[in-house]
Chain A
Amino acid sequence: MRKFSAFAVAREAMRSHKGWEKQWANPEPKSSYDVIIVGAGGHGLATAYYLASVHGITNVAVLEKGWLGGGNTGRNTTIIRSNYLYDESAGMYNHAVKLWEGLSQELNYNVMFSQRGVMMLTHNVHDVQVAQRHLHANRLNGVDNSWVTPEEAKEFCPPLNISKSVRYPVMGAALQRKGGVARHDAVAWGYARKAAAMGVHIIQQCEVKSVNRDESGAVTGVNTTRGTINSKKVGVVAAGHTSVLMDMAGVRMPLESYPLQALVSEPVKPIFPCVVMSNTVHAYISQSDKGELVIGAGTDQYTSYSQTGGLHIATHTLEAICEMFPIFARMKMLRSWGGIVDVTPDRSPILAKTPVKGLYVNCGWGTGGFKATPGSGHVFAHTIANDEPHKINAGFTLERFHNGRLIDEAAAAAVAH
């Protein structure tokens, strides 16, 4: 892998950029691999990369039905934070943030991780109680998070309307300064490039159609639109499509797949310096390096694999945006789209072994898994390599749904994303 650098760009400029190599190859699938990862999203690619870099397992195929990074990774609003309530979550997301901090250098790919701060607004007494509970738990878990007054919030985010006369005045906010955003595409591409360089096969346009198992029930491989590919270890990292894939192996999942929409405005000069989210009025917003306001909407109320949803969901969010930031009412929506989010009953992910020998699953990230990408890939690689969960994902099991040991970020009134 030839190194990326300002110097390399200058050198290539001199020969009109003829010298760049492919960032990843498009190999024909081999007949078998040590590990198959299903799904070339951020989490799948990261898993493959850490299998290679941490565990020395490079005979790995990542199978992708479409184009790599084209799932939720390629359509998310890229909010990164770790101020979750429960110890398990804090452990997972904090682990991820640590990895984010060095990721561009580690991958030699600028993922534009920008710690501009994530501010979560409170609008009523209950919001404040919930925020305080998070703040105290975060502090004792070593997670950065602090309380700011409406005035401090305004200073941190000038477009914010803190007038007392609005319908739901801002009563303060929880601010995680280490939180921020990253460039979604770059994350997928960076992992793909480095993983490919270490020998991982990324096979696109290759849809897994069924999962093969021997008489003992153990996994032996998968049938794809590009033929049968064997492996004793298969990791499913298919987000919205997890139920479909696990079904192929006879495992039923506690998941539902909903459309989640987002939209961007036309690009403007820097106006919005951070990330702001509000659970009570349902909106979250940031400004990308290209200048668009990136705005996340909610899920539609029915399950769907269509990557589209109703306009009323997006407008509901824009109402909240214009209420909190009245100066944006004359901005224009440039494009809207949807993804398919896999939602668990307790809104926490599943990263675990399954009842089927050799089958591993990483799913249930729902509306908020982009932030976890490096951490998730890192511990999932560990789980596959050692057939044993890492202590960070030990709690994110499938069993919790029959013993009831849920990690209920939803019930604890945590917010999405």
Chain B
Amino acid sequence: MTAKSPNTGANRVAGKGRLSPAKTATFTYDGKSYNALEGDTLASALLANGIHLTGRSFKYHRPRGILGAGPEEPNALMDIARDKARRQPNVRATCQEVFDGMVAKSQNRFPSLEFDVGVVNDALGRFFPAGFYYKTFMWPQKAWDKLYEPIIRKAAGLGDSPDEADPDHYANQFAHCEYLIIGGGATGLMAAKTAAKSGKRIILVDENAEIGGGLLSDASVTIDGKSGSDWAAEILAELKSYDNVKVLSRTTAFGYYNHNMVTLAERVTEHMANPPAEMPRERLWQVRAGKVILATGAIERHLVFADNDRPGIMMASAAGVYLNQYGVTPGKNIAVYTSCDSAWTVAFDLKKAGINIPAIIDLRKDIDETLIKRAEDLGIRVLKHHGVVSTKGRLRVKSIDVEPVDGVSSETIDVDCLLMSGGWTPSIHLFSQSRGRVKFDEDAGIFLPDIYTENCVSIGACNGTFEMTAALNEALKSVEGKGKAPKVADAVSMSGFKIGAAKSAGPDDFTKAFVDFQNDVTAKDIRLAVREGFQSIEHVKRYTTNGMASDQGKMSNMHGLAIAAEMLDKPIPEVGLTTFRSPYTPVTFGALVGHNKGELFDVTRTTPMHECAVANGAVFEDVGNWKRAWYFPKAGEDMQAAINRECKMTREVAGIFDASTLGKIEVVGPDAVKFMNMMYTNPWDKLGVGRCRYGIMCREDGFIYDDGVVARLAEDRFHVTTTTGGAPRVLNMMEDYLQTEFPEWNVWLTSTSEQWAVIAVQGPKAREIIEPLVEDIDLSNEAMPHMSIREGKICGVPTRLMKVSFTGEAGFEINVPADYGREVWETISERGVPMGLTPYGTEAMHIMRAEKGFIIVGQDTDGTVTPQDAAVGWAIGKKKTDFVGIKGLNRPDLVAEGRRQLVGLKTIDGKVVLEEGAQVVDDPNHAIPVPMIGFVTSSYWSEVLGHSIAMALVENGHSRTGETVHIPMPDEVIKAEICSPIFYDPQGGKVNG
């Protein structure tokens, strides 16, 4: 903590505010150190220290100060850091609580905030009207990305992006409740208090650190005879006593999604000096609510007049907040410019606190007499039906010029702060996001909820109900509460408003009267857009960028709309609002990502034998979510050396391979065969029990969808295998047909992909290696021929033992219940390795199957390849009258001449290995574009054959065996001969050992 009795700022007002003077915190702002009271926002702390200047504007780089006291703040955006990695740009100083050791920096200025060379843009402002960049920078053609764009980009953009990985973590929470109450002001609290008794689940959220909304800054109101803030505190205490009520402060409801899902961003640790490491920085809540109670209040609008953007000019309600909540005055000599009653109350509060109020300037002709009376009693000068027509002061407002609304005689008043109020805009953001429809209330100049599409209701200020008693009654009703609202006295009046350009911002003024502060949009810009034919409000928004800044126009949209409407000479509702979108205020990416990062970014699936592969020094590859052993380099081996060895040893002795990731589906039931006949192009009736067959599956369009070996375990039971990646979609497609097309068939499907660990032992010595480990199965060729399956035991555990080969060697695929996989693998290895058994990975597997011309769906096929194209047409049951794809296969283009067909390619120079994906052409000298007749799908160096091998899809390939084709590479043209894709053991004798 800091010095003995630290000075927390000259602008603290003794006896005002809700913060304890005992607790202080130290922070730096642009390198200089300041003190704050714990609970201060950065904005209140700066103001307490007499600082208004907080940033530079987007386009003109005009000095800007703190404007508001809440999420609507367009100006005071800061770079906030805890340490180098924990830095965040564009943080609202009005929402960020100060924590001890906080480092805050102003943004968008060079070299310094006080002196920013960017201001030339301001001087030259007239040369940068709305959309000027669409009209210029076009010549010379090349200059845009090389010259102009970089300059524009440098000038644009607010803060600096973080430049280190975010070390913090974030959490997610799904939640359900009967009532979600958004907004902890008088109405939200009233609703919560009323609903709490019902025992229903209630969540009450408010974006501020302290719950209470407008009440906290309201010095006069009493409810139930208590001050507003005491009343709020009492309810809060009561709510805490219910365990069916959850109260979340520092939590912003930012999105309203389909079917009453509302998303909340809770800031968990951002206010703490030393957040516990375990705590998430933010938590995303995804709340499904029975009914949503919107009690989001209203946001005060500024006034649009000449030079209304100087530091020291701020919102009246904000001053009320700083004085009554934080005990800070924004100045010593403060004029008030308003069209709304609530600003008068602020003036009175300040005056009572000993601040000089040179004048209240009100645009209105007739003003509530009691207000005027109170002003006189306090000795405040009142200028009825007057307007502020200009302001002076570079880094802080010094004086204002005041004029009668319909007069000229102007008077200059010295000030160090000017408060303004154009009245209140109900916060209908979330209601609109719920796709509700709004209507315009002429008399109050506000858009209000009209048609609801979700089960929600708006109450209080966000429903245009500015009268507190009425608001509280709405609250009661909203949750089916009985009885009457408590008695309210001396509530702040919020009536009176002004939308659009005030005096001095009129059509014929040359001044800059800002509508959207952050994007530097002036009344002139809006008018220009309309003059240029941008008549839809959506066009005006996009051409001027009004309301597109990080505050999303919370204060500016209504003004922009009114000015556009005036220009178009249309009533406001006909011009309409732009679309409200999520989020209500910006949300940290990290919070949206939640737990799903690092290890939890995506599932990592490993097989039962993964540890064995690790122990064998495997290099893994990602296949879908799986980690598969790719190859097993020995010390000093590169990838090629390793796979050469793996292939050689497997073909000469034996290899062991983890095939567990293959998809497996158990198809069971009396109609199993019928079903298989429909799903696969092959016929299955004749497949005997204990036998296996390679099956091809198409979609209705006739293109290959998946393939795999299918084993028949019993008349009514098949063990089906699919590709690793295909497993889920194949099962989904099977279920689809079964449930929706053939529901009457008696067959059931169960995924057994992970029930079975699969250990392939392949090669001449395969049988010799496993034989002694196997019980109750005769492994002789006669008893167990190629493509058969037996059930028995291995290493004392049950197995489904398959005599199948994807390598071309005699071999087995040993299925054992997954948890046994590891020890079975180890036992086989212990016995086999001394005999030369070699673990091989997916790369060697790919090579060996390619040497045999076996396709890999997804590599040698791509969703445009038919079984005939892939040279597996033999797998189509010629006599079958129906199967999935039977029609698609025979569509004109699928049987037409010139289809790309799968062939083998032998490079003329056998040492040259083609590149997978390389294109095949007939005439390499053809001018670009070169007609391509196919491409290389698989290509490898075959150590066993001593030359490269490849497979390719080539137009009419099946009838072009022996012909030479060309494969043009960037630097050379490779010649290759079309051949059979079966490179190794064409007679296929080896599978029988």
- Whether A and B touch directly in their complex, counting CB atoms under 8 A apart, is answered as yes
B621 an interface residue at 8 Å Cβ cutoff? yes
Contact A321 B129 (CB under 8 A): no
Q: Which of B116-166 contact A (CB under 8 A)?
A: 126-127, 129, 132-139, 141, 144-145, 149-150, 152-154, 156-166
Contact A266 B263 (CB under 8 A): no
Kindly identify which residue among B134, B582, B590, B968 contacts A311, using a CB–CB cutoff of 8 Å. Answer: B582
Q: How far is the CA of A142 from the CA of B968 in the complex (A)?
A: 13
B722 an interface residue at 8 Å Cβ cutoff? no
List residues of chain B with CB within 8 A of the CB of A104.
138, 141, 144
Interface residues on chain B, number (Cβ under 8 Å):
108
List residues of chain B with CB within 8 A of the CB of A223.
none
List residues of chain A with CB within 8 A of the CB of B89.
266, 268, 331
CB distance from B180 to the nearest CB of A (A): 16
B475 an interface residue at 8 Å Cβ cutoff? no
Contact B163 A327 (CB under 8 A): yes
Contact A330 B588 (CB under 8 A): yes
Q: Which of A201-241 contact B (CB under 8 A)?
A: 204
List residues of chain A with CB within 8 A of the CB of B112.
none
Contact B129 A17 (CB under 8 A): yes
Residue from A109, A267, A411 whose CB has the most chain B CB atoms within 10 Å: A267
CB distance from A133 to the nearest CB of B (A): 3
A328 an interface residue at 8 Å Cβ cutoff? yes
Residue from A123, A185, A331 whose CB has the most chain B CB atoms within 10 Å: A331
Contacts A20-B532, A411-B703; is A123 near B622 (CB within 8 Å)? yes
Q: How far is the CA of A16 from the CA of B129 in the complex (A)?
A: 9
B552 an interface residue at 8 Å Cβ cutoff? yes
Q: How far is the CA of A333 from the CA of B593 in the complex (A)?
A: 11
Query: Contact mask A135-172 → B, CB, 8 Å, 1/0?
Result: 11101111000000000000000000100001110000
CB distance from A136 to the nearest CB of B (A): 5
Q: Which of B74-133 contact A (CB under 8 A)?
A: 86-90, 126-127, 129, 132-133
Q: How far is the CA of A319 from the CA of B592 in the complex (A)?
A: 8
B597 an interface residue at 8 Å Cβ cutoff? yes
Contacts A132-B918, A137-B932; is A25 near B533 (CB within 8 Å)? yes
Contact B127 A139 (CB under 8 A): no
Kindly identify which residue among B153, B535, B538, B621 contacts A270, using a CB–CB cutoff of 8 Å. Answer: B153
For B130, the closest partner residue in chain A by CB is: A17
B55 an interface residue at 8 Å Cβ cutoff? no
Contacts A4-B135, A123-B622; is A327 near B164 (CB within 8 Å)? yes
Kindly identify which residue among B161, B862, B917 contacts A411, using a CB–CB cutoff of 8 Å. Answer: B862
Contacts A105-B141, A110-B144, A332-B588; is A129 near B136 (CB within 8 Å)? no
Stretch in A51-59, A76-84, A246-254, A398-406 with 4+ CB within 8 Å of B? A398-406
Contact B138 A332 (CB under 8 A): no
Contacts A70-B538, A330-B87; is A17 near B135 (CB within 8 Å)? no
List residues of chain A with CB within 8 A of the CB of B598.
167
List residues of chain B with CB within 8 A of the CB of A310.
257-258
Kindly identify which residue among B87, B510, B929 contacts A140, using a CB–CB cutoff of 8 Å. Answer: B929
List residues of chain B with CB within 8 A of the CB of A21.
532
B635 an interface residue at 8 Å Cβ cutoff? no
Q: Which of A313-350 contact B (CB under 8 A)?
A: 314-315, 318-319, 321-323, 326-337
Interface residues on chain A, number (Cβ under 8 Å):
112
Kindly identify which residue among A189, A335, A412 contacts B581, using a CB–CB cutoff of 8 Å. Answer: A335
For A139, the closest partner residue in chain B by CB is: B970
Q: How far is the CA of A381 from the CA of B705 in the complex (A)?
A: 39
Contact A318 B132 (CB under 8 A): no
B859 an interface residue at 8 Å Cβ cutoff? yes
Q: Which of B580-594 contact A (CB under 8 A)?
A: 581-583, 586-590, 592-594
Query: Contact mask B511-555 → A, CB, 8 Å, 1/0?
Result: 000000000000010001001111110110011010000101000
Q: How far is the CA of A408 from the CA of B862 in the complex (A)?
A: 9
Contacts A16-B126, A168-B602, A318-B592; is A404 near B583 (CB within 8 Å)? no
Contact B152 A289 (CB under 8 A): yes
Q: How far is the CA of A124 from the CA of B132 in the complex (A)?
A: 45
List residues of chain B with CB within 8 A of the CB of A204.
536
Contact A271 B166 (CB under 8 A): no
CB distance from B955 to the nearest CB of A (A): 13
A114 an interface residue at 8 Å Cβ cutoff? yes
Stretch in B190-198, B415-423, B828-836, B891-899 with 4+ CB within 8 Å of A? B891-899
Contacts A126-B858, A411-B862, A411-B863; is A9 near B590 (CB within 8 Å)? no
Contact A270 B935 (CB under 8 A): no
List residues of chain A with CB within 8 A of the CB of B918.
132, 136
CB distance from A315 to the nearest CB of B (A): 5
Kindly identify which residue among B136, B601, B919, B928 contacts A6, using a CB–CB cutoff of 8 Å. Answer: B136
A10 an interface residue at 8 Å Cβ cutoff? yes
List residues of chain B with CB within 8 A of the CB of A315.
592-594, 596
Contacts A17-B129, A132-B916, A319-B597; is A23 near B534 (CB within 8 Å)? yes
Contact B583 A336 (CB under 8 A): yes
For A102, the closest partner residue in chain B by CB is: B141
Residue from A13, A101, A130, A330 whose CB has the most chain B CB atoms within 10 Å: A330
Q: Which of A264-278 contact B (CB under 8 A)?
A: 265-271
CB distance from B580 to the nearest CB of A (A): 10
Contact A9 B129 (CB under 8 A): yes
List residues of chain B with CB within 8 A of the CB of A326.
165-166
List residues of chain B with CB within 8 A of the CB of A6.
136-137
Q: How far is the CA of A184 from the CA of B919 in the complex (A)?
A: 35
B930 an interface residue at 8 Å Cβ cutoff? yes
Contact B597 A268 (CB under 8 A): no
CB distance from B149 to the nearest CB of A (A): 6
A388 an interface residue at 8 Å Cβ cutoff? no
Contact B161 A140 (CB under 8 A): no
Contacts A5-B136, A310-B258; is A332 near B589 (CB within 8 Å)? yes
B715 an interface residue at 8 Å Cβ cutoff? no
A12 an interface residue at 8 Å Cβ cutoff? yes
Contacts A140-B930, A266-B550, A267-B156; is A331 near B583 (CB within 8 Å)? no
Residue from A101, A129, A271 whose CB has the most chain B CB atoms within 10 Å: A129
Contact A404 B894 (CB under 8 A): yes
Contact A141 B589 (CB under 8 A): no
B980 an interface residue at 8 Å Cβ cutoff? no
Contact B528 A412 (CB under 8 A): no
Q: How far is the CA of A327 from the CA of B166 in the complex (A)?
A: 6
Q: How far is the CA of A22 from the CA of B150 in the complex (A)?
A: 30
Q: How far is the CA of A396 from the CA of B162 in the complex (A)?
A: 45
List residues of chain B with CB within 8 A of the CB of A318.
589, 592-593
Contacts A289-B149, A326-B165; is A5 near B157 (CB within 8 Å)? no
Query: Contact mask A17-41 → B, CB, 8 Å, 1/0?
Result: 1101111111000000000000000
CB distance from B867 to the nearest CB of A (A): 15
Contact B552 A67 (CB under 8 A): no
Contacts A22-B531, A311-B263; is A110 near B932 (CB within 8 Å)? no
Contact A289 B917 (CB under 8 A): no
Kindly identify which residue among B154, B257, B858, B915 contacts A136, using a CB–CB cutoff of 8 Å. Answer: B915
Complex A-B: 25 CB contacts under 8 Å? A13-B129, A16-B510, A17-B531, A104-B138, A109-B138, A110-B138, A124-B622, A126-B858, A132-B916, A132-B918, A133-B917, A140-B929, A180-B145, A190-B134, A267-B58, A269-B157, A289-B133, A291-B156, A311-B582, A322-B593, A330-B162, A332-B588, A333-B592, A404-B892, A408-B863
Closest 3 CB pairs of A and B: A291-B157, A411-B863, A132-B917
Chain B residues proximal to chain A, CB less than 8 Å: 58, 86-90, 126-127, 129, 132-139, 141, 144-145, 149-150, 152-154, 156-166, 168, 255, 257-258, 261, 263, 286, 435, 510, 524, 528, 531-536, 538-539, 542-543, 545, 550, 552, 579, 581-583, 586-590, 592-594, 596-599, 601-602, 604, 621-623, 701-703, 858-859, 862-864, 888, 891-894, 915-919, 921, 928-930, 932, 935, 968, 970
